[in-house]
Structure 1
């Protein structure tokens, strides 16, 4: 069976269709957890106490797992087993005297003949799987040792990836969620909320709860969002880059002040400012070569599309020569901060001033 998506799995569950093996992974961890719960609910209903076994993948005993798989269900149609965070790269917390290939081979043997009454779910929420993403098809191919386990799930059950959604997809979800709570929000404001939260679904959920409590049955306006939602730091880095590109001194220093208040590690502030200008430099070079947002996202493996879009937008105001000069200034600033005692805030203010003085 081909790799599928959460929407397809949910449609199968509504029809009462269950597979014997699931492998669920992806950067959208809340969606991984949500889909896992839905599969468990479909398999055992309210009988989790008797029909569900939860195992920690870091301490998985394949002999014990085999016995669980062969068990007959109690007070439920299915016997369900959830294995969280089994990592084929490091199958045990303590690998002394053990080989990962041997442990993985035993696991695959156990999983080859799952009886019809058993549903086995592997989900990944505590480590990142190495993947190569085809941004044209949206499919990801697992590159590390977890591929064999994923391939088995794809062959006999379901391999499911939960990727981070685009801002437009999230905007629709936000609008629907807000509406279900009795409030209103426009798609433009929902999209802005997604961007401010860096497309993090858990952060978005928390912000929706707060905004709906404030707005009640009214509309969540742009002013309410600006006043109540804390803009994630990465978004403020883009504000700073945008202000420098537009020669907007006031906005640049307001953004810098906000960043210095948010971060205890001011070296991280410089690193992220530099990353924003490197993003813009990539975008400017890509535009010169006739490349588009999708090309840059694929070539440099960006997770969030809005970062690339912002880079394309802001870099249009700056020449490549000026971007190079700003990156040189940031390089010199890094050397200064790492060379000895100095006031980080003062040095960064001087850096922003120098960048504002560069010319196209």
Structure 2
């Protein structure tokens, strides 16, 4: 009796060349599935003849007889061929008649895939709570089922770092954490944002400012309000906003970098105003919308230069502390707010 495996186990087998003739992939992260399929195809199908020996079928409308016939046809100028049925919704719990027919044909054939062929059928869960269907469990007794759950924490950072390295781009530990924390945990989204960031920075190293500039905007108004509460010495409301951000799913690291960015802009605005620069000059120099620049100039007047310097120092100290996985991000952010208000 076969047992469902997790995708890191599959990746290890792929590295060693220990492959079977058929697989069912299932889980929430389609990007991870596609990455592994790409690696499998690169390893087993010659680039020159890829169009002939790598065939894809849309799982929502697939004719399983066509899939079986393609599997039975010998590869051309290659030892192996790969057949992919993607987004195979017929592996879900639905009772659609046509989907059930597709499933019946697949389960009867899957143990008979020829040695020269690798058949992959993948099914994407609708959400994190979805479990493998009874159909997938039945297939688990006949072939290898690989589960693709979302990467988290250090495992996600390791994967993303390796993808940056493949692109020939350097990224530091802090910048890597900021990038991962600032995005939805989905490899397709992460890969797209990575491409944009690499294009933006070209051949130089990636900075925190680059990441903040390029990531999709999140909770800017909340960060402004949080810093405003600090300026008005309202710790209760500042902590409420912090808790709201965390409840929305924002990571402590991301909130910290946004606060640090806000204080940095306020510091530069304060110095600029004191040196005689006006709103138009500062908005151009700091690349701020004129309306936002005006609001932030008003906010900067509630701080002294020393308070802003202290606030930035507290942010850097908190950043160092958050490098440790043993600390509570929420607690450290609360301490940052209290320390900044009382300093």
d(CA) in 2 for partners of 1:251, 1:242: 9
1:29 deviates by 1.7
Q: Structure 1 residues 276, 240: closer, same or farther in 2, change over 3 A?
A: farther
Please report how far the alpha carbon of residue 223 of structure 1 lies from its aligned counterpart in structure 2 after TM superposition: 3.0
String of CA shifts for 1:54-91, please: whole Å, max 9, x gaps. Answer: 22222233333333333222222123321112223679
Deviations 1:72-120 (A, max 9, x none): 222221233211122236799x95xx36545422321122322222211
Quote the residue 1:109 is aligned against: 108
SS in structure 2 opposite 1:55? strand
Deviations along 1:301-343, whole A, 9 cap, x unmatched? xxxxx9xx777888999xxxxxxxxxxxxxxxxxxxxxxxxxx
Ranges in structure 2 where 5+ consecutive residues have no aligned partner = 251-324, 337-343
Compute the displacement of 1:177 (Å).
Answer: 3.9
Query: Contact conserved, 1:184 with 1:217, CA < 8 A, in 2?
Result: no
Structure 1 residues 130 and 145: CA distance shift in structure 2, 3 A: farther
Choose 203-212 or 28-37, whichever is displaced more: 203-212
Give the corresponding residue for 1:4.
Answer: 5
Aligned to 1:52: 54
Q: Displacement, 1:25?
A: 2.3
**Partner of residue 32, structure 1:** 33
Alignment CA distance shift 1:21-1:248 (3 Å): same
- 2:182 is matched with 196
SS of residue paired to 1:168: helix
- 1:36–1:123 contact (8 Å) kept in structure 2: no
Structure 1 residue aligned with 2:193:
207
Q: Can you list the C-alpha shifts for 1:178-231, whole angstroms capped at 9, x where unaligned?
A: 455554432122111111112333333333334344445544232332233334
Shift of residue 39 of structure 1? 1.9
1 CA distance for matches of 2:127 and 2:186?
18
Structure 1: give runs of 5+ residues left out of the alignment: 133-140, 256-272, 280-305, 318-360
- Residues in 2 aligned to 1:177 and 1:100: alpha-carbon distance in whole angstroms: 36
Q: Distance in 2 between matches of 1:52 and 1:278?
A: 40
Tell me if the contact between 2:56 and 2:83 (Cα under 8 Å) persists in the aligned partners: yes
Contact 2:13 2:19 in 1 (8 A): yes
Confirm whether residue 227 of structure 1 aligns to residue 229 of structure 2.
Answer: no
SS at match of 2:5: coil
Per-residue CA distance 1:273-314 (angstroms, 9 max, x = gap):
7993799xxxxxxxxxxxxxxxxxxxxxxxxxx9xx777888
Give the match for residue 340 of structure 1: none
Distance, in Å, in 1 between the alignment partners of 2:137 and 2:333 is 39
Alignment deviations for residues 230-273 of structure 1 (CA, whole Å, 9 cap, x no partner): 34x4x669869978995346995xx9xxxxxxxxxxxxxxxxx7
CA change 1:86–1:277 in 2 (3 A) is: closer
Change (3 A) 1:101 1:214: closer
Alignment-derived partner of residue 132 in structure 2:
142
* Aligned residue in 1 for 2:14: 13
SS of equivalent residue, structure 1 residue 142: coil
The verdict on how the C-alpha distance between 1:240 and 1:168 changes in structure 2, with shifts beyond 3 A counting, is farther
The structure-2 alpha-carbon separation of the partners of 1:74 and 1:178, relative to structure 1 and needing over 3 Å to count, comes to closer
* 1:43-122 paired onto structure 2 within 5 Å: 43-46=44-47, 47-88=49-90, 95=96, 98=97, 100-122=99-121
Equivalent pair of 1:172/1:187 in contact (CA under 8 Å)? no
Q: Is the 8 A contact 1:194 1:200 kept in 2?
A: no
CA distance, structure 2, for counterparts of residue 278 and residue 17 of structure 1? 39
Supply the distance in 2 between the matched residues of 1:277 and 1:16 (Cα, whole angstroms).
43
TM-score scaled to structure 1, two decimals? 0.55
Between 192-201 and 213-222, report the one with greater CA deviation. Answer: 213-222
1:20/1:118 contact within 8 Å kept: yes
Question: Which of these two proteins has the greater Rg computed from alpha carbons?
Answer: 2
Let me know the Cα RMSD of the aligned residues.
4.3
Shift of 1:49: 2.3
